[in-house]
Amino acid sequence: MKGWLSCLSEAKVLRGDGEREEFSSLSYDSRRAKAGDLFLCMKGSTMDSHDKIPELLEKGVRVFVVEKNLPDLPKEMQDREDLCIVQVENGRKALAELSAFYFSYPSKEMLMIGITGTKGKTTTASMVRAILTEAGYNCGLIGTTGIDYAGIHEESRNTTPESYTLQETFRKMKEKGCNAVVMEASSQGFKMHRTDGILFDYGIFTNIEEDHIGENEHKDFAEYKYYKSRIFTQSKTGLVNLDADFSEEFMENAECPCFSFALKKQADFMATEIEDLHRHDFLGCRFHFRHGEEDWEIWNHLPGRYNVYNALAAISLASLLGIKKEVVQSALRKIQVNGRMEVVLQRGGYTVLVDYAHNAMGMKNLLETLKAYKPKRLIVVFGCGGNRAKERRYGMGEVAGEMADFTILTADNSRYEKTMDIISDIESTLSKKTKNYVKIEDRREAIRYALEQAEEGDLIAVIGKGHEEYNEVNGTFTRFVDREVILEEAEREGK
């Protein structure tokens, strides 16, 4: 490929002719590099790929983008006159720019929607995708639960993948017929330049709370907030939850025109007359969406007021796109979000759902939401991950003791700890609040027991794993999907 040098916003040619130099493919992993590649060297927190230059020269790599000055590079490189060496200030930014160039800027060929916020990104993204799909779009999805497009599912290590993976994915989506992409844009994604080179048609801000602050994340809340706000420097139009903290600051500093949505404050898009509903075939909220003269009655098949916010964000976007009311109503009436308040079974007068809540705060929010539906009994099935902070176990045990009517303690990715040791830690705080619990080490057996004990009017929440499709024990991963196990055991029991 020629002409690549011009795609870099900051570049200094140290050797060779970058304008005329060609490369066949782009790489930044020395294990995969080969002759003919342009290789991008970066200084990471644990590894510096500049140290791999002698090995790369042996492989026949001749085109390099580096972060170091020529005298600081390995001697083997300094002695070679047949190389093209270009210096950049930030390798991650350069990787994003080069990746967009290498894959021929695929994001420019599709409707691009980015969603950021502390909570609600995954659910809002799924709702937006459901509405767009109902409206006839071929829509790809990128986020916490992985990458989905055209019937293909790919796992992803990060909520917002590395820039090269993002651009490669956009190109694959486009080749499979996608004309829209909905993606979660994390604060780390902005900080690590993974989203550089993307101009979102619409950027959505859901909310912000103190989170992701610490080593290898953000140094403080100010930095976290700054990177959340970056979405409005990379969007043509913004959508802001006006009820969220710092929303007005985000709107004032936005570099694009912004619309607002809210339940409490007066906004461009509003949700009113909210009603929690639990029927034999429906668990969720009914509300009215109002914008100007528009008044749409919405049945949102996800429980909880915070899911009204998520739905409102998605509906507001649909309104801006001119999508018809009937399309939105149909999509949300049947919405299911993998592992997020996912209603799996409604039978015999009881309801079973799956949720990803895996810490005390998430569990408390979930149980408060479910208790608002006034179930006969609120039954919770959960465990805690091994080799993680024990405070999480103690906190979840305390919340379960205070809020659940009955608790079933079980396994959840025990990793290199013994499951019963983890359960004992949870029990140490749970038992101080209630005696209404049992311990069943095997998660399938725990789910079976919950179904066997279910009565009309019960709400059963199987939590902690959510969308995960595995159970990890002593380094071994075996398939385990809560949704599948619930349905299998219900079929076996005939319930």
429 assigned to a ligand binding site: no
pLDDT of the residue at 479:
95
On whether 133 is known to bind a ligand per the annotation, the reply is: no
194 labelled as ligand-binding?
Answer: yes
The pLDDT score that the predictor gives to residue 127 is: 96
Q: Per the annotation, does 18 bind a ligand? A: no
410 annotated as ligand-binding: no
- pLDDT of the residue at 172: 98
CA atoms within 13 A on the CB side of 369: 23
In angstroms, rounded to a whole number, what is the distance separating the alpha carbons of residues 388 and 336? Answer: 30
Average predicted confidence (pLDDT) for the chain: 94
24 among the known binding-site residues? no
For 440-488, write each residue's pLDDT tens digit. 999 999 999 999 999 999 999 999 999 899 999 999 999 999 999 999 9
Residue 131, number of CB atoms within 10 A of its CB? 26
Domains of the chain (ranges; CATH) run 4-91 (3.40.1390.10), 103-333 (3.40.1190.10), 342-493 (3.90.190.20)
Say whether pLDDT at 368 is over 90. yes
Q: How far apart are the first and last CA of the chain?
A: 61
pLDDT of 83: 94
User: Is 124 part of any known ligand binding site?
Assistant: no
Consult the annotation and say whether 324 binds a ligand: no
Question: What average pLDDT score do residues 125-136 get?
Answer: 97
Token digits of residue 84: 């093209």
Answer yes or no: is pLDDT of 214 > 80: no
